[in-house]
Chains A and B, each alone.
Chain A
Amino acid sequence: MITSYWDALHESLSRRVALVLIGLALVTSVGFNLLVKVTPLPNKQFRIVLGNAPLPMRDIGVPAMVHNLVSQQMGIAGTLWILGALFGAAPLFSSTLEKGWLELLFSKGTSRWQIFLGRFLAGATLYAITFGVATFPLAVRMWWQTDVRVWEISVAMLLFTLSFASLMAVAAMASLPQRGASLPILGGVAVWLFSPFLMRRAEMDAWPWVKPVLDWAYRIFPKCSELGDAASAYLKTGHITAWWPIWSTGVFIAVVMAYTLWSVERKSF
């Protein structure tokens, strides 16, 4: 499994889309850093300005400002990079099943489920790397310049990676019934787009019979939106306000992956 993990990481990092992704993450990270100006004031105070238009400033204190900035940066990592990383990582499953390559991989002494699980973990790692590249530089710089540590960003990273992992699980399952990477990517994107919609299902006017269906869908499907909110909240407060989205998404991943690994083991190619 570890062999498969490293190979999958190697494979995903050798894809152009993954390099573009990490490159872009780096560019936005640097760009955002350039927009943020920190000026030391007397009494260990700082003026922190985002952009060059001096808006009417509100004094919310340095720590709050720093967290606010990191949170803004994270907002991009949680949307754009989730989608981007999905394009880079979802094909990790279908590429395993390519004719001619499948025969090489699946005739070796490592079980298919281990190969698949290694690729799943590599996908999650790819996202975590992108997230880190996009957000950590700002957090580290703020620590260095203002002495405010935003260590909460690492927990936020785990929350977002969990959200990404649920999409990877969907991609893994969608790679089995057919060949090619389109269905895995579409499946992941669809679940991700569906999640804010399910979160706000109560606000919608729907036929009465639709409501219980949506309720159940909400309970079952990964809660990407809520995980994103939980990450922002954690950055501000340092507390996990609701555990339900976390464990229910965890259960979703476990069930979908267990089914996928079992299917790939018993499938005849």
Chain B
Amino acid sequence: MTNTNAVIETQDLHKVYPSWRTRLNLAPAVPALKGVSLRVERGEIFGLIGANGAGKTSLVKILLGISRPTSGAARLLGGVPGDGAIRRRVGYLPESMRVQDHLRAESLLHLMGRLNSVPSSILRRRIPELLEQVGLAGVKKPVKEFSKGMNQRLGLAQALINDPELLFLDEPTDGLDPLGRKEVRDLLTRLRSEGKTVFLNSHLLSEIEMVCDRIMILHRGEVARTGSPEEFTRGAGEVVIRLTAVSEAVRAAAAGVAVVAWQATALRFTPRDQAHLNEMIDRLRAASADIEAIEPVKESLEQFFLKVVAA
């Protein structure tokens, strides 16, 4: 744990939520995290995906020092989670934020800013900017009258109040309309271009696929896979060759090279290597087939995820 470029580093985190039933041995303790080790580098958007109850929120709460691990260690920004000086450099959008009834959007942002020791003079300038950015400018209602989506937008604004270096977002697009989701994605890419690090929790895989640099799949408290979206969606090497028309001669030529599947005028097969693919193309051309396009078959992140989780 010495590399200075790692913004988040954990080693073998375990978390068991104790309850009276488990303490009295009436029920077995079900661990929420079972040995999670991860590393997030500065400037990347890191996506954590997993089914409901996989342990994503538990992990984030440990990284923020809200909850304590049963065993294992975590470091962020070169310090320990829970240290006030470290937390002042971190932003956090909790999963189900609930704001006290007496607050309005502005007073909430002011309170959150002051708790992070942001000077009032900076807050006076930053609060209207942030409200504008998340589309809540001019909203005067108390927060308790906000819709789910407005609440979520306010949550984003408060997470950015201290201009954090590291941002934790737990299901940020939950309750947002498609436009709001797009805005969140744009926000994330802008933050990355400013050199910030983002740790994103989501079960909405398409979101993650679109913005994340690296993805970790958490399954029942364990790390199932870590990699880039490209690695995950590369597929098994299958290709599709689209033709303008199919004749019996073309079908015969293709069948002579490999086992293929036809779908109207498109054929799918998995070449052993590049030579195999080229041989197929040569044979098809020799049978006077007119090739329209050759495409690799990509897997969606969802398909990949379901495969990993089912395994």
> A interface vs B, CB < 8 Å?
3-4, 7, 10-11, 14-15, 95, 98-111, 115, 268-269
Contacts and interface: CB of A to CB of B under 8 A. Distances in A.
A4 B66 contact: no
Interface of B: 61, 64-68, 84-85, 87-88, 90, 92, 94-102, 107, 111-112, 114-117, 158, 162
B134 to A, nearest CB: 16
B102 A268 contact: no
A125 to B, nearest CB: 16
A101 B111 contact: no
B100 A95 contact: yes
B61 A14 contact: no
Contacts of A268: 66-68
Given A107-B90, A108-B116, A109-B87, 20 more contacts: A3-B114, A10-B107, A14-B101, A100-B98, A101-B99, A101-B100, A102-B66, A103-B61, A104-B112, A105-B115, A106-B64, A106-B65, A107-B66, A108-B88, A108-B112, A108-B115, A109-B88, A110-B116, A115-B115, A268-B68
Nearest to A11: B102
A3 B111 contact: yes
Given A3-B114, A104-B112, A111 B98 contact: no
Contacts of B114: 3
A107 B94 contact: yes
A172 B65 CA distance: 22
9 contacts: A3-B111, A10-B102, A14-B101, A101-B99, A103-B66, A104-B99, A104-B158, A110-B115, A269-B61
Instruction: Tell me the dominant secondary structure on chain B's binding face.
Output: loop
A103 B92 contact: yes
B96 A106 contact: no
Question: Which 10 A-B residue pairs are closest in the complex by CB-CB distance?
Answer: A100-B98, A109-B88, A14-B102, A103-B94, A108-B115, A268-B68, A3-B114, A107-B92, A110-B115, A109-B116
Contacts of A3: 111, 114-115
Nearest to B168: A107
Contacts of A105: 115
Contacts, number: 74
B116 A98 contact: no
B154 to A, nearest CB: 11
A269 B117 CA distance: 23
Contacts of A106: 64-66
Contacts of B61: 103, 269
A110 B95 CA distance: 21
Given A7-B111, A269-B66, A107 B87 contact: yes
A87 to B, nearest CB: 17
Nearest to A105: B115
Nearest to B170: A103
A10 B142 CA distance: 14
A101 B117 CA distance: 19
Contacts of A11: 100, 102
A61 B115 CA distance: 55
B97 A108 contact: no
A30 to B, nearest CB: 27
A108 B66 contact: no
B160 to A, nearest CB: 13
A208 to B, nearest CB: 37
Contacts of B94: 100, 103-104, 107
A3 B113 CA distance: 10
Contacts of B116: 108-110
A107 B68 CA distance: 13
B73 to A, nearest CB: 15
Contact of A100 (B84, B96, B101, B117): B96
Contacts of B101: 14
B64 A107 contact: yes
Contacts of A4: 115
A4 B102 CA distance: 14
A7 B99 CA distance: 13
User: Which residue among A99, A105, A107 has the maximum number of chain B CB atoms within 10 Å of its CB?
Assistant: A107
Contacts of A108: 87-88, 112, 115-116
A142 B263 CA distance: 100
Contacts of B90: 107
Contacts of B100: 11, 95, 98, 101
